[in-house]
Amino acid sequence: MKTTTSPPPASSSRTPPIDGIKLHIGGCEKREGWVILDALPGPAVDYVGNCNDLSFLADESCCEVYASHVLEHLGYNGEIQKTLKGIHRVLKSGGRLRASVPDLETLCRLFLHPTLDINGRFHVMRMMFGGRSSEHDVHYVGLNFDFLRSFLHETGFCDIRRVPEFGLFNDTSNLRFAGVPISLNVEAWKPLIRMP
């Protein structure tokens, strides 16, 4: 049977499938309808593991995946690509990925801002390279919209767009420094496959 990929509807009217798992990667805030995968165990964590191995989930088992300040912890020489392929695999046709990362362009502008003292610049540097609060709190890639969009496009995602905020969880996707939002928040979709 032949399948066709239909063009995505306008973003404002687009919704993910209603059935399936809502996977929150790296979360710590329990929310009804969501399951949490994290590298470290915790009271709200449903699955302990690395986001670059989603083999515990079946193909097309998720309707949504949410990852705030996760992708920057992955190497750009294969690990981020493998992780995005895994996310794409577990998403249903028409499923949505919402990802937030530190915006490298914003952080570079902040680092060079003449009003910042050495302590402010050091704090911005930690947002770029990781706070080192645990062995997992290390950043291996800096991402701007062009870089992230390219990784997502190469994986097969479509309708990739930057959004000001998600308004879903109280997390680093909303983080501000010196009044400036430092996160790059991106929404991307797995193409909707329609059966003729």
* Interval 90-124: pLDDT, tens: 999 999 999 999 999 999 999 999 999 999 999 99
Q: Looking at the domain assignment, is residue 127 inside a domain?
A: no
Q: Looking at the domain assignment, is residue 130 inside a domain?
A: no
Q: Looking at the domain assignment, is residue 79 inside a domain?
A: yes
Residue 5 has pLDDT above 60, yes or no: no
Residue 59 CA to chain centroid, in angstroms?
19
152: domain CATH number is 3.40.50.150
Q: At what angle do helices 79-90 and 145-155 cross, to 10 degrees?
A: 60
| Mean pLDDT of the 118-147 span | 94
Q: Looking at the domain assignment, is residue 120 inside a domain?
A: no
Distance CA(6)–CA(148), nearest Å, equals 23
Residue 49 has pLDDT above 60, yes or no: yes
CA angle 125, 131, 134 (to 5 degrees): 160
Q: How many residues does the chain have?
A: 196
Q: Looking at the domain assignment, is residue 42 inside a domain?
A: yes
Higher pLDDT, 106 or 3: 106
Q: Looking at the domain assignment, is residue 112 inside a domain?
A: no
Q: Looking at the domain assignment, is residue 37 inside a domain?
A: yes
Distance CA(55)–CA(35), nearest Å, equals 15
Residue 55 has pLDDT above 90, yes or no: yes
Q: Looking at the domain assignment, is residue 125 inside a domain?
A: no
Quote the domain boundaries for residue 58: 4-103+139-194
Distance CA(62)–CA(82), nearest Å, equals 17
Give residue 134's pLDDT.
Answer: 83
Number of domains in the chain: 1
Distance CA(52)–CA(34), nearest Å, equals 19
Q: Is 54 helix (H, G, I), strand (E, B) or coil?
A: coil
Q: Is the entire prediction scored with pTM above 0.75?
A: yes
